[in-house]
Amino acid sequence: MNKLENKVAVITGGGGVLCSTMAHHLADLGCKVAILDLNKSNAENVAQAIKAKGGEAIGVEANVLKSDSLTQAKAAINEMYGTCDILVNGAGGNHPKGTTTKTHFEMEDLAKQEDLTTFFDLDPEGIKFVFDLNFIGTLLPCQIFTKDMLGKEGCTIINISSMNAFTPLTKIPAYSGAKAAISNFTQWMAVHFSKVGIRVNALAPGFFLTEQNRRLLTEENGELTARGNTIIEHTPMGKFGEPEDLLGTLEWLAGPGASFVTGVTIPIDGGFSAFSGV
């Protein structure tokens, strides 16, 4: 029997690009997968696709920023599949209002230009949106679903961090800070829940060409932007990741092979975080 057979996996942001691929993989491994997403039809479509190939899945509309919504989702999942064994906190992302236009501030930027967002123009509401989505949006599902895990064996949480947790990426201070908080929280949770056997780890994907960052990394004609080129130049393996590149590490962290692994954030980045640039 597969080691993850019949485990109940809850995956937030499961209607999105990376997490839908993870949801498929967990279902292929025999998990019963609950796909939680703010976007109900995306969640249902992913569940439908899993069921169409013989897997077990439900799509559930849920907002990771609202405890009530998560509690309702948990009730539906508990009724259908039982209690949660694996929680993947995938909902997250950046917001343009937490992003500066330029990499470096220069004196001439003080002369106001309409199309320029400097550090001084960053909107605290945009920053707050990003911190909430990534950090509170991980904290609340942990609060709701770890209750299912207490007293059970083999339960685990997998958070989604990012490259910018190790060293901030230019232009995106809110997203960088929020993902650093996720890596830090992963360690905190790992220690906090160590006595009740819940392992807590994180994946730190490098650069994956997804809907959120496609406009930052590629031009309309498909060619790389300057930022896209810089990323490839700083990725020793010389390419963007494919969602499937996350699956081996996900499977390992979710299963008994990682039984003594807790509190780590694993870069899956083609060497980006190992390379100083020279």
Binding residues (CB under 6 A) for ligand NAD: these are 12-13, 15-19, 37-39, 42, 62-65, 90-93, 133, 137, 160, 162, 205, 207-208, 210-213
CB of 44 to ligand NAD, least distance (A): 12
What is the DSSP pairing of strand 86-89 with strand 8-12? parallel
13/55 with CB nearer ligand NAD: 13
**How far lies 84's CA from each of 8, 106, 147, 262, in Å?**
5, 51, 9, 18
CB of 139 to ligand NAD, least distance (A): 13
Q: Which of 130, 209, 205 is nearest to 160 (CA)?
A: 205
Angle at 70 between CA 64 and CA 71, to 5 degrees: 160
CB of 64 to ligand NAD, least distance (A): 4
17-28 vs 40-52: helix axis angle to the nearest 10?
Answer: 30
User: Of the residues 81, 135, 145, 175, which is catalytic?
Assistant: 175
CB of 83 to ligand NAD, least distance (A): 21
72/210 with CB nearer ligand NAD: 210
Distance CA 222, CA 20 (A): 24
92/177 with CB nearer ligand NAD: 92
Q: Are 135 and 185 in contact (CB under 8 A)?
A: yes
Virtual torsion, Cα 199, 89, 205, 214, nearest 10 deg: 180
Q: Which of 216, 146, 138, 214 is nearest to 179 (CA)?
A: 138
* 175 noted as active-site residue: yes
18/200 with CB nearer ligand NAD: 18
Tokens at residue 216, please? 């930052």
28/132 with CB nearer ligand NAD: 132
Span between the terminal Cα atoms of the chain, in Å: 47
CB of 60 to ligand NAD, least distance (A): 10
Q: Which residue is nearest to ligand NAD (CB)?
A: 16
- Tell me the catalytic residues: 175
